[in-house]
Amino acid sequence: MKDHPPDLINIAIEELVKSRCELPSFRVLDELTDQIRRAVNQELFQLVFSRLSSEQIHSFNEFHKKH
C-alpha cells in the first residue's frame, strides 16, 4: 500500500495516461491526493478507535493529559 503523496500522484498520472485522459495540473493532483489521504486515514483511525475498549481509551486519554 502506498501512502506517500509523490507515490500516489505517480500512480494517478500512470492511470490517467493509461486511460488516455487529459492530465490535470500538479496542484489539482496534489490537492486530490491530500483529500484522499485524509479520508483514508480518518477511516483507519475510526476503525482502530471502534475496536478499543473503554479501558484502552481511558489509558490513552490519561497518557495524553500527562504529555
- φ/ψ (deg, to 5) at 11: -65, -45
Q: Cell 506517500 sits at which residue? A: 4
CA geometry: angle at 62 spanning 59 and 65, to 5°? Answer: 155
pLDDT on residue 2: 66
What pLDDT is stored for residue 5 in this prediction?
83
pLDDT digits (tens, 9 = 90+) for 2-58: 678 888 889 889 999 999 999 999 999 999 889 988 998 999 999 999 999 999 999
Domain range enclosing 52: 5-66
The per-residue pLDDT for 45 is: 93
User: Do 36 and 3 meet the contact criterion of CB atoms below 8 Å apart?
Assistant: no
- CA–CA separation, 55 vs 61, rounded Å? 10
Structural domains of the chain, count:
1
